[in-house]
A and B are shown apart, each in its own frame.
Chain A
Amino acid sequence: REFTYVHDEL
């Protein structure tokens, strides 16, 4: 399963 963790920080 394709899973993308949200990385919203720099």
Chain B
Amino acid sequence: MNVFRILGDLSHLLAMFLLLVKIWRSKSCAGISGKSQILFALVFTTRYLDLFSNFISIYNTVMKVVFLLCAYVTVYMIYWKFRKTFDIENDTFRLEFLLVPVIGLSFLVNYSYTPTEVLWTFSIYLESVAILPQLFMISKTGEAETITTHYLFFLGLYRALYLANWIWRYQTENFYDQISVVSGVVQTIFYCDFFYLYVTKVLKGKKLSLP
């Protein structure tokens, strides 16, 4: 465990909390892509199947449970509790365009051809593209609430910190995981355009709106 990894995990946790706080306080999930949140719930479910079979540390187990809970509570808020405020007309990204290639790739490129390993690989590939419905929704409506942009910023920061974590682990432990690294780089690239808008607009007190 290194500083990049712990800050990355905390940033991830903060992102998920911010999203829940936004929904809870405003009693609205306007501007949030339910499809992205379903994908994240699917990511955690397929990745953390080893929760009971493979103990790593108390930290690891607790974080997995918290991540799963946050993901499912968020989906519940969007599709049940505050369903009336859900902006379904703008959440139109076609999930099959992500799921079909991701399922195919997880069968083709994995570490071992076992059910849990293929599902783990699926979760890694899916996470790298899970935010696309959300980014698509923002580009469609042309704007995002400031708290939603903070959510996206911390989600992107988590990815960037994980890249630093992998460089660190490669240098100190000679550990590397090609599947995670390649997917992590792809995922981080998706946030670059957003990071630019966040720094040039949101941090200067302006609302994120696209021309």
Contact = CB atoms under 8 A, between A and B. Distances in A.
Interface in B168-184: 177, 180
* Interface band, chain A: under 10
Contacts of B60: 8, 10
Contacts of B64: 10
B54 interface: yes
* Interface band, chain B: 20 to 34
Contact of B111 (A5, A8, A9, A10): A5
A7 B120 contact: yes
Given A8-B60, A10-B60, A10-B67, A3 B112 contact: yes
A4 B63 contact: no
Nearest to B64: A10
A9 B54 contact: no
Interface in B1-18: 5, 9, 12
Contacts of A9: 5, 162, 165, 177, 180
Contacts of A7: 47, 50, 54, 120
Nearest to B113: A3
B12 A10 contact: yes
Across the A-B interface, give the 9 residue pairs with the lowest CB-CB distance, nearest first.
Answer: A3-B112, A5-B111, A8-B56, A10-B63, A10-B9, A7-B120, A5-B117, A5-B112, A10-B67
17 contacts: A3-B112, A3-B114, A3-B117, A4-B54, A4-B112, A4-B117, A5-B111, A5-B112, A7-B47, A7-B54, A7-B120, A9-B5, A9-B177, A10-B12, A10-B60, A10-B63, A10-B64
